Chains A and B, each alone.
Chain A
Amino acid sequence: MQLAVNVLVLTALYAMMAAGFVLIYRASRVFNLAHGDAMMLGGYVFFTCLVATGGNLWAAVPLALAAGFMIGVAVYIVGIRPLAGYPVVSIVMVTVAIGILLRSLATLIWSAQVRYPANLLPFKDTPFHIWGNAVISTLDIASIAAAAIFFIVLIVLFQRTALGVRMRAAAENPRLAANSGVNIHRVIALSWGLACFGATLGAVFYTTRVNLEPDSWLVGLRAFAPALIGGMTSLLGVLPGALIVALVEVLAAQYLDPIMVSSAPFIVLLAALWIRPWGLFGTREEVVRV
């Protein structure tokens, strides 16, 4: 039973972080290699908000999420938008540069010192014993709930609102959408903002459960495996993708040599892409475009 809980918690974490890869790819066909760095920066913003508010979680989390959203929008406006019309590979390389820049910025501002945001929280991460002698903690429950709410909001946004329809239209056929009066740049900026919002949400739970340092970006980058397995064009595909990666990691940690934890998701990724190169829920057409 504990394994099931571990899988669920890790799925939630990966889903929050991986959603950003898909949101940005759908909107701008860019594989954002700075997404892990956005998660790391989101973590530092959250940490700073916690310090500034004296550990007030109810103030720090919304502030950090809003800042995360704004960072995403700013990165698009400053770093990506000027390259509109350039080959996608150039923009991907720019995301690499942005990632390095964000990492250096984080080290300059906060130093390489490891931070523990959990120690600033006004409560202890209380464990609860559930059935089958399994344990789940407050932060575990909160991370699952946050991931669920985040995805419900995204689905409602895309399926039920006019803005969502415009975003989908811009993702599927930017020229046609633009000719129909959709402000493409605004829609893509919103996607970058939402992606960084998700990355910051993931960072809130990762950093309160593990720690925060400039190299936390590597954890965020690992979330590209769930996105690829699920399909880069499918937001809902992120959920089964995250579940598969989490399941493989948890089983590898429990039953195999833990070294396999690093490589197992990528073995699964290779196998999944070999069988279905466009991902579980992606579309064949998109692969041709990549």
Chain B
Amino acid sequence: MKSKDCFLIAAAMTSIASTAAAQEEYKIGVSAAITGPVASTYAPAYEGLKIYLDRLNERGGINGRKVTAIYLNNQAAPPRALADSKRLVDEEKVIAMVNISTSATYAPMIADAQRTKTPLIFLGSAVCPAGVYPPKPDPYLFCASFNMVGEDGKAMVHVLNELAGAKKAKLGLLAMDIPISRQGVDLIEKLAEQNGFQVVGKVAVPLTTADFTPFATRFKEAGSEWIAHWAPLTVGVAMFTSLTKLGWNGNYLAVASPTAEADTVTFAQSNFYVMPSYSFSVDNLPVFKEIADAAKKYQASYAADTVSVGWVGGMVIEAALKSCGWPCNSEKLRTSLESVNVDTQGLYGGPIDWSAGNHLRSKAHYKLYRWDAAQKRVVRVKDWIEIPVQ
């Protein structure tokens, strides 16, 4: 046999072997904002998912097969998300895609998910899109993230009602100048006014703000007694710092980002409330020990308390693939996703319970935390507040 023939046979066998190996694993694709604008909001969740899947594979995978995740960095840029989704569905032939990024990256990925009938799951800090809500969700879109515009708004007004008491406070509202954040704040404004609050200022700060004091001055001079924000927490931290400097002594209510707990500790201000739809590590749930161990073992660059929302994403993917069995393809996985019911072990207030008519969850839950100056630690002010998903 000529050496050329030997080479061709070897190449063909290698190809067959690698194809067989590829078929022996669950292959999913992740497009995340690992760097780029507001990466601090998304990258910890990506890392949480990654360490969960690394640990899962080390323990033998699912149904005896590895879960191979292809991680791509879309830098929160729509063209990159488009390139990512094309590569994932057309070249890599993944059975599901995951998005952990800004809402600007959704449209191209949703289009590819619908075109190729591949499930697209929003995890971590990605704001759940309208297409996952009941009663008729898009068949290919699912969301296990902790950010839900409508429910967050309702929960914030609920909390404001309880904390402000009978006195209907003057309320300032803060957004970041991006569409989804403005949308969230518009909803809070509407609900707050319906509840008797007087909205005295609504500000959307640009992404590149050199100094927050001019905006803080506007809030202070308008007489805001409460300020609520629906934006990345970094914006809230900067605004609250400027307000404090100006001598403002009202109360601040912030929706959470993955770094919210660490930021609350750093801040150490008792009039700064944070309302996450997940548990902070101060609640000492047993699952936090698991997360911390995995974060250490797999050398996570983000603190263990910031990666928990990505960990929830890992739980959901594991449950869906288990239910899909083997062999598993996109359509079979889509059907499995519609019956997912994941106990998040207290990380969320309830299960991730998807159905044919609801690709979000049946109820959203929120906790309220703040810094306690006497105890010198973050404390829980309110346990799970339940908001039905509509």
Contact = CB atoms under 8 A, between A and B. Distances in A.
A51 to B, nearest CB: 14
B245 A6 contact: no
Interface in A199-257: 206, 209-211, 213-215, 218-219, 221-222, 249-250, 253-254
Contacts of B206: 258-259, 261-262
Contacts of A103: 35
28 contacts: A2-B221, A13-B210, A104-B35, A111-B302, A113-B43, A113-B259, A113-B301, A113-B302, A116-B263, A125-B245, A127-B245, A129-B247, A135-B245, A137-B245, A206-B210, A209-B211, A209-B238, A209-B242, A211-B237, A213-B40, A214-B35, A214-B39, A219-B208, A253-B215, A258-B206, A258-B218, A262-B206, A262-B207
B234 A114 contact: yes
A259 B204 contact: yes
Interface in B196-220: 203-215, 217-218
A112 B35 CA distance: 6
B44, B206, B211, B217: most-surrounded residue (chain A CB, <10 A): B211
B359 to A, nearest CB: 29
Contacts of B210: 10, 13-14, 206, 210, 219, 222, 249
Interface string B29-47: 0000011111110011000
Interface residues of A, number: 41
Given A3-B217, A114-B40, A258-B177, A210 B211 contact: yes
Contacts of A250: 214
B205 A258 contact: yes
B37 to A, nearest CB: 5
A9 interface: yes
Nearest to B208: A218
A113 B204 CA distance: 23
Interface of A: 2-3, 6, 9-10, 13-14, 103-104, 107, 111-114, 116, 118-119, 125, 127, 129, 135, 137, 206, 209-211, 213-215, 218-219, 221-222, 249-250, 253-254, 258-259, 261-262
Contacts of A137: 245
Contacts of B43: 111-113
B83 interface: no
A111 B301 contact: yes
Given A113-B302, A258-B204, A127 B36 contact: no
Nearest to A202: B210
B234 A213 contact: yes
A259 to B, nearest CB: 6
A262 B209 CA distance: 8
A201 B247 CA distance: 27
Contacts of A210: 209-212, 238, 241
B218 A253 contact: yes
Contacts of A13: 210-211
Contacts of B302: 111, 113
Interface of A, secondary structure class, is: helix
Interface in B243-271: 245-247, 259, 263, 266
A238 to B, nearest CB: 15
Contacts of B246: 2, 127, 135
B34, B35, B36, B242: most-surrounded residue (chain A CB, <10 A): B35
A116 B218 contact: no
A215 B245 contact: no
A6 B209 CA distance: 13
A10 B214 contact: yes
Contacts of A135: 245-247
Given A112-B35, A113-B40, A218 B217 contact: no
B234 A9 contact: no
B263 to A, nearest CB: 8
Given A6-B213, A112-B34, 18 more contacts: A3-B217, A107-B39, A112-B43, A118-B241, A127-B247, A209-B212, A209-B238, A210-B210, A211-B238, A218-B37, A219-B209, A222-B210, A249-B214, A254-B214, A254-B218, A258-B203, A258-B204, A262-B207
Contact of B208 (A6, A112, A262): A262
Contact of B37 (A111, A127, A215, A222): A215
Contacts of B207: 215, 218, 262
A146 to B, nearest CB: 15
Contacts of B241: 118, 125, 209-210
